[in-house]
Amino acid sequence: MRAMTQLDQIRNFSIVAHIDHGKSTLADRLIQMTGTVAERDMKAQLLDSMDIERERGITIKANTVRIEYPAKDGRTYILNLIDTPGHVDFAYEVSRSMRAVEGSLLVVDASQGVEAQTLANVYQAIDAGHEIVPVLNKIDLPAADPDRVKENIEDVIGLDASDAIPISAKTGLGIPDVLEAIVTRLPAPKGDREAPLKAMLVDSWYDAYLGVVVMIRVMDGVIRKGDRVRMMQTNAVYGIDKLAVLKPQMVDIPELGPGEIGIFTASIKQVRDTRVGDTITHERKGCEVPLPGFKPAQPVVFCGLFPVDANDFEALRDAIEKLALNDASFSYEMETSAALGFGFRCGFLGLLHLEVIRDRLEREYDLDLITTAPSVVFKLHMKDGEVRDLHNPADMPDLTYVDHIEEPRIKATIMVPDEYLGDILKLCQDRRGIQLNLTYAGNRAMVEYDLPLAEVVFDFYDRLKSVTKGYASFDYVISEYREDHLVKMSILVNEEPVDALSMMVHRDRAESRGRAMVEKLKELIPRHMFKIPIQAAIGARVIARETLSAMRKDVTAKCYGGDATRKRKLLDKQKAGKKRMRQFGKVEIPQEAFISALKMDG
């Protein structure tokens, strides 16, 4: 049996960085330099982790690893690196991972400086009470300016950067200094070995061979193979089959004590049965009070997913059920739409999450899907005092029963070179934003805005990137629900309401939004043999209208009846086009209309 690990010989940390600033490269270097993975295995190792990432769609756990490091003081330390998802959609998961460690390396690209995502993540680390070691990466680049970036870190984050460590994760320069700093500058974990078991569920995933794998951080007590443990939120009891640490491959271990991080398997059927942030204790003589801060997964963005071909409905149902088994934060329920037939209303943590799931359905399950415009959850305060969640504008009840409506607001942080600032302010203003703060760090502006989430979920990020030629970075947190003057706008095509196109809008913007929608639809819907009115309405009141005039001739008319092959070709083409159309009453609406119509130009 191995010797018990002393708490003061453990350091737990995460790496905080903006995308592309070198988090993965640094993690690989730390692993390599401590011989955690033999040199010749390194390449294979990296490929493996990429496969996992690809399989899971998003970088989540590829770089969680236990490193053994012989420090200059002559003692060997266990360094546990926990990888955190970098994207805002997973803010809650990030906050839990941060609670599982005591410190962070803040990696900033020395040729770029602090970006919006750096900020959002570093604030999470500060909230979790971390000791933070700033690291300036990519100093091998000619454009690197470590002194300027140090100042930048101090100005923008308010963190002392005088001891920031200059490194190149690419060449390996400075990596030994990082390892030493982890030991000397980050605190050791605390915990009581004699106390009842208290461990936090940090993450879980499905492994093809092992089934559900649960990653934990032990706070107090000791967990051993064979133990019977209880998850305090779900109240389910499991027997520990396998206990291991990640190096990064799994290495079995007889026990995990306070301050340690590892994984277990316990014949858990679905990832859905595990909740990030849950407290794990022993079935008998367990702890009384769970760890604070648990939150059930809460989808915030909803959209409809419908098969293009109605015959694919069962296949879509199977695929969605399978994906949901491994993703507790993805919700779905069946939905029928007059325009789109049978499909599902699905809930996601955010836009990236939505895209990942939709891509997987299309790629892995080979489904052709119609995605309706994403919408947020509105809170309807009814006159009788009831508060209802509205997931789908089509379900909006009669207004006479509704007292007022609240919508989710976000606090957005945008960082941008100052030449684009004007465009950014205009974009935020157009989306009902309220400016909270504007500061400068060098020639980069940092703006904070209070914005309605509903105005951001659709194409805000695309617009932001396009008006700034990709130079802006953006991050947000949901702040609160707030009342506003919101109404449901319906779209009528040929006098019939098309559910999938209805949306919640601010009363003051309804006219302009309605006008833009009907104009866009007039372009998107092909002409028919008859005249088609396209209208936007609030309740019974029409606020905008366009008329699509009738088609004069049919497509084959210009073929003089003579050339049969040409005629057939045209008809075939028309038929193929039809597959991507939806029959609605007498009108056919092309699939792309459901998304394009909602895109707002400027």
Ligand X SMILES: Nc1nc2c(ncn2[C@@H]2O[C@H](COP(=O)(O)OP(=O)(O)OP(=O)(O)O)[C@@H](O)[C@H]2O)c(=O)[nH]1
Q: Does 59 bind ligand X (CB under 6 A)?
A: yes
Taking a C-beta distance cutoff of 8 angstroms, is the pair 475, 413 a contact?
A: yes
To the question of whether residue 437 is assigned a binding role by annotation, the answer is no
Residue 561 C-beta: closest distance to ligand X, Å:
60
Q: Which range of residues in 165-173, 180-188, 290-298, 410-418 is near ligand X by CB under 6 A?
A: 165-173
Measured distance CA(286)–CA(259) in Å, rounded = 18
Check if the beta carbon of residue 246 is closer than 8 Å to that of residue 65: yes
* Minimum distance, C-beta of residue 390 to ligand X, in the bound complex (Å): 35
Nearer residue to ligand X within complex by CB, 22 or 343: 22
DSSP state of 169: T
Least gap, CB of 86 to ligand X (angstroms): 5
Q: Does 150 bind ligand X (CB under 6 A)?
A: no
Is position 17 an interface residue for ligand X (rule: CB under 6 A)?
Answer: yes
Q: How many residues does the chain have?
A: 602
168 binds ligand X (CB under 6 A): yes
Question: How far apart are the C-alpha atoms of 566 and 419, rounded to whole Å?
Answer: 54
Residue 511 makes contact with ligand X by CB under 6 A: no
Please select the residue that binds ligand X; options are 138, 150, 345, 520, rule is CB under 6 A: 138
56 is a site residue for ligand X (CB under 6 A): no
138 is known to lie in a ligand binding site: yes
**CB of 20 or CB of 406, closer to ligand X:** 20
Of 168 and 274, CB closest to ligand X: 168
CB of 45 to ligand X, least distance (A): 15
**20 scored as a contact of ligand X (CB under 6 A):** yes
Contact between 141 and ligand X per CB under 6 A: yes
Ligand-binding site membership of 309 (annotated) = no
- Residues sharing a CB contact under 8 Å with residue 321, sequence separation 6 or more, in sequence order: none
Binding flag, residue 87, ligand X (CB under 6 A): no
* Cis, peptide link before residue 248, omega less than 30° from 0: yes
Element spanning 198, H or E: strand 198-207
DSSP string, 393-458: GGGPPPGGGEEEEEEEEEEEEEEEEGGGHHHHHHHHHHTT-EEEEEEEETTEEEEEEEEEHHHHTT
CB of 49 to ligand X, least distance (A): 11
Span from 12-20, 186-194, 212-220, 418-426 in contact with ligand X (CB under 6 A): 12-20
As measured in angstroms, the least distance from the Cβ of 22 to ligand X is 3
User: x/- contact string, 96-135, with ligand X (CB under 6 A)?
Assistant: ----------------------------------------
Find out whether 59 is annotated in a ligand binding site. no
Cα separation, 426 vs 191, whole angstroms? 51
Can residue 25 be called a binding residue for ligand X (CB under 6 A)? yes
- Is residue 14 near ligand X by the rule CB under 6 A? no
Q: Is 221 in the site for ligand X (CB under 6 A)?
A: no
Is 177 known as a binding-site position?
no
Q: Which stretch binds ligand X (CB under 6 A): 22-30, 469-477, 559-567, 590-598?
A: 22-30
Q: Helix 116-127 to helix 91-99 angle, to the nearest 10 degrees? A: 40
Binding test (CB under 6 A) with ligand X, winner from 13, 22, 118, 428: 22
- Window of 18-26, 198-206, 241-249, 342-350 that interacts with ligand X by CB under 6 A: 18-26
CA atoms 371, 86, 294, 405: torsion sign: negative
Position among 137, 371, 473, 490 found at the interface with ligand X (CB under 6 A): 137
CB of 386 to ligand X, least distance (A): 44
Least distance from ligand X to the Cβ atom of residue 151, Å: 20
Nearer to ligand X, 86 or 307 (CB): 86
Nearer to ligand X, 137 or 274 (CB): 137
Phi, psi of 252 (to 5 degrees): -60, 150
SS3 296: coil
25 annotated among ligand-binding-site residues: yes
**d(Cα 174, Cα 122) in Å, to the nearest integer?**
22
Is residue 24 marked as binding? yes
- Residue 165 corresponds to which tokens in the numbers above? 């460590």
d(CA 357, CA 41): 32
Residue 63 Cβ vs ligand X, minimum distance, rounded to whole Å: 8
Binder among 12, 14, 24, 337 for ligand X (CB under 6 A): 24
Cα(first)–Cα(last) distance of the chain, in Å? 66
Amino acid letter, residue 476: Y
**Rounded-to-integer distance, Cα 543 and Cα 42, Å:** 63
| 3-class SS string, 440-504 | EECCEEEEEEEEEHHHHCCCHHHHHHHHCCCCCEEEEEEEEEEEECEEEEEEEECCEECHHHCEE
Asked whether the beta carbons of 582 and 340 are under 8 A apart, the reply is yes
Dihedral over Cα of 257, 262, 267, 269: its sign: positive
Q: Measured from the CB atom, is 140 or 180 closer to ligand X? A: 140
**Closest to ligand X by CB, 59 or 392:** 59
- Distances, alpha carbon 259 to alpha carbons 243, 449, 495, in Å: 15, 39, 65
**Residues 233-249: b if buried by 16+ CB within 10 A, e if exposed:** beeeebebeebbbbebe
Q: Residue 23 interacts with ligand X (CB under 6 A)?
A: yes
Whole-number Cα distances in Å, 491 to 397, 500, 530 = 16, 9, 19
Q: Decide if residue 152 touches ligand X (CB under 6 A).
A: no
Total residues interacting with ligand X, rule: CB under 6 A: 17
Residue 169 binds to ligand X (criterion: CB under 6 A)? yes
When binding is defined by CB under 6 A, the residue of 57, 85, 86, 248 that contacts ligand X is 86
To ligand X, the closest distance from the beta carbon of 135 in angstroms equals: 10
Using the 8-state DSSP alphabet, how is residue 293 labeled? T
Contact (Cβ atoms closer than 8 angstroms) between residue 443 and residue 417: yes
Q: Is 23 labeled as ligand-binding?
A: yes
139 in a known ligand binding site: yes
426 is an annotated ligand-binding site residue: no
Pick the closer one to ligand X by CB: 85 or 299. 85
Contacting residues toward ligand X, per CB under 6 A: 17, 19-25, 59, 86, 137-138, 140-141, 168-170
- As annotated, the binding site for GTP includes 20-25, 137-140
- As annotated, the binding site includes 20-25, 137-140
